[in-house]
Amino acid sequence: MIKKILSSMVMLSCLHAVAQQKGVITPGAIWPDNKGVHINAHGGGVLVHKNTYYWFGEHKVEGDEGNRAQVGVHVYSSKNLADWKDEGVALSVVEDTTSLLVKDCIIERPKVIYNQKTKTFVMWFHHELKGQGYKAALTGLAISKNITGPYQYIKSVNPHAGIWPMNIPDAYKKTDTTLNVEGIKWKSPQGQKLTEEGYFVRRDFKKGQMARDMTLFVDDDGKAYHIHSSENNQTLHVAELTDDYQNFSGKYTRVLEGKANEAPAIFKHEGKYYMISSGTTGWDPNPARLSVADHPFGPWKELGDPSRGTVAENKTTFWSQSTYIIPVKGKKNAFIYMGDRWTPKNAIDGRYIWLPILFEDGKPILKWFDSWDISIFNKN
């Protein structure tokens, strides 16, 4: 089976060695911008503003095998989601060693939303400090009055210091005084039970909770939510932002406790909230996970893998990891799955797997298309 999967991957890679065609989306292909350069916006998200799409993502460097930020966050614009104009670097790392946003820190999964009240574009991102690997588990904030930037870096935080999740039972708030967790495997039944019962929440209660892989979601009422992997990537936290989107309101919940989800992406369809996430297998892809809820705070119900196709594709979400769900402007109930096909040995060559979200028996599903355009939604 492994040989069969690897063979399928090679064939798919060869099939999409060509570049995208104008007006058409070809998943896994080289995707040139208006300058003929492969789009450099990994782990990204898309904001629709004034009838234009803006794609923000991690800027990678040729030959870089790591995930350290050498440039910052890149931004592109488009009218049709297929042809993109390079708008430059929206957020730049700095040489100033007194700044947390210094070159060689880690910036991942930048997302931008617009605040109508303050007329401000608000960017949040997963931020790790230079030389500390993934120890800090911070989320960073930057803002701008101009959608393409430059964005001003404001701060990075571990959210909710001294604040309990709204849905944690009082019994789970008790402080561990004698518990020895050395050697525990957190994906084991014992580790999962400890996680579910709030071990990590208690551990990080004073300093603030971890915030790694993240996304943003703005609801119909203007409320914004910051959804991120927390508790050593074992549990997702859904956190409400303040009215200006620049701080945490203090209201948050734990969802899918102990299930080890990352790469969350959320959208709303016919009154239901859907989330596509992934398991925690590093740079290697795994089966996507679909969940549904009646409110962003949950509870969230697991619905399984939304991918449809061959066994090989189902096991890897078409060799991709979720990063965002794009609502298609001007079309009702039309959404696009944004995924990354990571290439850690040369990160700049990472490809993008964009697929239309279809519905089967009322549930979102993903099917492979060698190439497609947004007219596909006219048929649904």
pLDDT tens readout for residues 319-344:
999 999 999 998 989 999 999 999 98
- At 107, is the pLDDT very low, low, confident or very high (cuts 50, 70, 90)? very high
Q: What is the mean pLDDT of residues 12-34?
A: 77
pLDDT of residue 6: 37
Cα-based distances in Å from 120 to 76, 77, 141, 182? 18, 18, 12, 46
Note whether 230 and 212 are within 8 A (CB).
yes
pTM score, two decimals?
A: 0.94
In the chain, alpha helices (H)? 2-15, 189-196, 199-203, 311-316
Q: What is the mean pLDDT of residues 82-103?
A: 97
Report the C-alpha gap between 355 and 313 in whole angstroms.
Answer: 13
Is residue 2's pLDDT more than 70? no
Q: What is the mean pLDDT of residues 270-278?
A: 97
Q: Which of 2-6, 125-129, 160-164 is least confident?
A: 2-6
- At 12, is the pLDDT very low, low, confident or very high (cuts 50, 70, 90)? very low
Is residue 7's pLDDT more than 80? no
Q: What is the pLDDT of residues 118-147, one digit of tens each?
A: 999 999 999 999 999 999 999 999 999 999
Domains of the chain: 31-157 (2.115.10.20)
Nearest Cα to 118, choosing from 251, 250, 245, 247? 245
Query: Nearest 5°: phi and psi at 118?
Result: -95, -5
Phi-psi region of 303 (alpha: psi -120 to 50; beta: other; left: phi over 0): alpha
| CA dihedral for 258, 259, 264, 267, sign (positive or negative) | negative
pLDDT of residue 380: 57
- At 1, is the pLDDT very low, low, confident or very high (cuts 50, 70, 90)? very low
pLDDT averaged over every residue in the chain: 92
